[in-house]
Chain A
Amino acid sequence: QVQLQESGPGLVKPSGTLSLTCTISGGSISSSYWWGWVRQPPGKGLEWIGEIYHSGSTNYNPSLESRVTISVDISKNQFSLNLSSATAADTAVYYCAREAEDYGGRTLDSWGRGTLVTVSS
């Protein structure tokens, strides 16, 4: 059974870059899945950030696209999120997830436990 684990700094300074890595175990990042990031501000709902395929193809939420980069490291079975120009509004629990194809779209069928990132000086 695939497992995902987020890692990275829990505190980021305003205007800095939020960087997180998701490590996959029990499965290969090169399998026929997309891999995504979702965030959840404290006490609020879920926001999809973006996704990547092992080929390097990416799709991003238009509301964040100018600040987001998602990359993949096949050798380490990892994918990463970079969010630049961070503000307090980016404070959230960040989840990585596996995305399964269904009728041309994708559902998030396996999730990491999430990691809280706070943007504060």
Chain B
Amino acid sequence: EILMTQSPATLSVSPGESATLSCRASQSIDSNLAWYQQKPGQAPRLLIYGASIRATGCPARFSGGGSGTEFTLTISRLQSEDFAVYYCQQYKDWPPWTFGQGTKVEIK
């Protein structure tokens, strides 16, 4: 099973600033990585797949990067609706598909 590790656990950011979240895989997953956003009381929402491809409806201020074992999600010019928990998911090796433990982006 591929272990996904996200850092930091919590990121405090002021609106209008940028935030960079990290995700590390325990072995190479090429670009088979997705990012999800989850707001309180809601289901996760797919933001990024293929490490860097924005899903339908994902704003352009979200950008993904990386390959192999190291990945990032950058949110530029944070807006109020961006404060949420973000999860990465690998889909290179299964079963199971595995998620990181999440990074909470909170208002500073």
Binding site for B on A (CB under 8 A): 38, 45-48, 50, 59-63, 95, 102-109, 111-114
B31 lies within 8 A of chain A by Cβ? yes
B55 lies within 8 A of chain A by Cβ? yes
Instruction: Assess the A105–B97 pair: CB atoms within 8 A.
Output: yes
**Interface members, chain B 2-51 (any A CB < 8 Å):** 30-32, 34, 36, 42-46, 49-50
Instruction: Assess the B46–A108 pair: CB atoms within 8 A.
Output: yes
Residue numbers in B under 8 Å from A62 (CB-CB): 1, 95-96
CB of A116, distance to nearest CB on chain B (Å) = 11
Instruction: Assess the A59–B43 pair: CB atoms within 8 A.
Output: no
Question: Given that A45-B100, A48-B97, A62-B95 are contacting pairs, would A102 and B43 also be in contact in the complex, using a CB cutoff of 8 Å?
Answer: no
- Assembly CA distance A85 to B46 (angstroms): 32
Partner of A48, one of B30, B31, B98: B98
Instruction: Assess the A105–B32 pair: CB atoms within 8 A.
Output: yes
Question: Given that A103-B31, A105-B94 are contacting pairs, would A111 and B99 also be in contact in the complex, using a CB cutoff of 8 Å?
Answer: no
Binding site for A on B (CB under 8 A): 1, 30-32, 34, 36, 42-46, 49-50, 55, 87, 89-92, 94-102
Question: Given that A95-B43, A114-B43 are contacting pairs, would A102 and B32 also be in contact in the complex, using a CB cutoff of 8 Å?
Answer: yes
CB of B94, distance to nearest CB on chain A (Å) = 7
Residue numbers in A under 8 Å from B99 (CB-CB): 45-48
Nearest residue (CB) in A for B32 is: A105
Nearest residue (CB) in B for A98 is: B46
Residue numbers in B under 8 Å from A103 (CB-CB): 30-32, 50, 91
Nearest residue (CB) in A for B45 is: A111
Residue numbers in B under 8 Å from A108 (CB-CB): 34, 36, 44, 46, 89
Residue numbers in A under 8 Å from B43 (CB-CB): 95, 111-114
- Assembly CA distance A109 to B91 (angstroms): 13
- Assembly CA distance A45 to B19 (angstroms): 21
